[in-house]
Amino acid sequence: MPMFSWFVAKRLFSQGGNGGRASRLATGIATFGVAIGLAVMLVSVAIVLGFQREVQDKVLGFGAHIKVLNYQSLGKQELTPIVIDDSIVSRLTAIPNVASVARFCTKPGMLKTEANFRGIAIQGIGQDYDQSFISSHLVKGEMPEFTDSASSGKLVISQQVAREMQVDIEEAIYAYFFEQTVRARKFTVAGIYRTNLTDFDKNFAYTDLFTIHRLLGWDSRQYGGAEIRLKDFDRLDESLYHVVNEVNHRQDAYGEYYSSLSIRMEHPQIFAWLQLLDMDIVVILILMICVSIFTAVSGLLIIILERTNFIGVIKALGARNGQVQRLFINYALLIIIRGIVLGNILAFALILVQKYTGIVTLDPEVYYVEAVPVLVNWLWVAAIDAGTFVISALAMIVPSFVVSNITPAKSIRFE
């Protein structure tokens, strides 16, 4: 009867400390193996998900979810102007899932002090631009109130650029722009930011849209493009489809064609790299589940062999092979459950310590973050716990067949 098998299994499990030395050791190793395997899986998934989110958020902070540009600007650093008037902004804002639309202009130039100089792209942003990302990563100074109607004379640069140029906040720095003639502008460093995304930090500085627009000499309706931020990034492809239908292949008042691209299209190498991390999760899960199964199966075999006399006795009393098999499978399930509980406790202890202390650090020049990021996804936690239980339970069926070869007569002489 199922109740008989479950009742005896619980009694044996609760009296595990009174069993033989080998049985106690096997139970401990099996529990430890399941717990460690599960903890490694949960921590690894939390790290990979945290790393993906951290890097993705930084990339999204620098670039809009979707950009509307002149078709001739695709793949180029210096942008060709396109009309982004109020009607275009209204049409884009009306698209489902669009949170904001901001005009921008970008102009390559050269920053220079008395001792240093370097090339950089200066982006002009206005009051409709979402400045929260740069503001949250300021290490010195403040984010000025940039507008498209007045020159601020302020510049926000990265910490990497500030070190190379040997400037600090409130210090003057000159920017030179090369066309038919050399044009110079004097700025005051208002803020210094650091995101640890080296390729972005070393190439971008920010000032007001008014200054860059005047330097470019475009019509009042012409801009480098429009940056669109979405309410739900997971719906990026759907939103891009709507933007494409709304503006792509249309001409502005100057005969220029609109085009659009998503941030995944603009930075495919970064997002492809982040997707490759999913393969790391799969490999880790497979390896750790194998470890858990191996330790649990080994432990069950040792327990069965040490309980040979017990098996012979209950068979002599009338227990059938199926009942004895279910007894030891239930015993193994109790070990697995305890291992899963301990594994969750250990995993979440490590995750919380890392989240609130950042004790494990990384080289930001290589990994883009200063400490190992962690992110708990409860669906992943539930899936890993359930998967570990189900797969380990199924693996227990095979070693349980050993009991069918044990006969009461032989078990009496077994030592």
Least confident of 152-161, 182-191, 306-315: 306-315
pLDDT, average across residues 128-143: 90
Question: 270, 55 in Cβ contact below 8 A?
Answer: yes
Residue-wise pLDDT tens digits, 221-265: 999 999 999 999 989 999 999 999 999 989 998 999 999 999 999
398 pLDDT exceeds 90?
no
CB 201 within 8 A of CB 195: yes
Give the torsion through C-alpha atoms of 310, 314, 316, 318, to 10 deg.
Answer: -170
Whether the Cβ atoms of residue 408 and residue 313 lie closer than 8 Å to each other? yes
Alpha-carbon distance of 73 to 50, in angstroms, equals: 34
H or E element at residue 310: helix 308-316
- Confidence check: pLDDT of 353 > 80: yes
Token code pair at residue 295: 């330790």
Structure confidence at residue 33 (pLDDT): 85
The pLDDT of residue 209: 93
Provide the sign of the torsion angle of the four alpha carbons 165, 166, 167, 172, taken in this order. Answer: negative
How confident is the model at residue 397, as a pLDDT? 79
Phi, psi of 343 (to 5 degrees): -65, -40
Burial class of 125 by CB neighbour count within 10 A (0 to 12, 13 to 18, 19+): buried
How many whole angstroms from its chain centre is CA 240?
22
pLDDT above 90: residue 345: yes
The token pair at 118 is 């370097």
Highest average pLDDT, of 291-300, 304-313, 406-415, comes from 291-300
pLDDT confidence of 1, banded at 50, 70, 90?
Answer: very low
Q: List all residues 6 or more positions away from 213 whose beta carbon is below 8 Å from its beta carbon.
A: 105, 124, 148, 223
- pLDDT one-digit tens code per residue, 61-91: 877 899 999 999 887 777 899 999 999 999 9
Cα–Cα distance measured from residue 130 to residue 134, given in angstroms and rounded to the nearest whole number: 9
Q: Give the residue carrying structure tokens 């202009």.
A: 105
Coil, strand or helix at 154:
strand
Report helix, strand or coil for 74: coil
Whether residue 4 has pLDDT greater than 60? no
pTM of the model: 0.79
Two structure tokens written together for 360: 């494990």
Count of CB atoms situated within 10 Å of the CB of 176: 14
Which pair of structure tokens corresponds to residue 395? 């693996």
Answer for the pair 262, 243: CB distance below 8 angstroms, yes or no. no
Cα-Cα-Cα-Cα dihedral sign, residues 385, 391, 394, 398? negative
pLDDT band at 115 (very low <50, low <70, confident <90, very high): confident
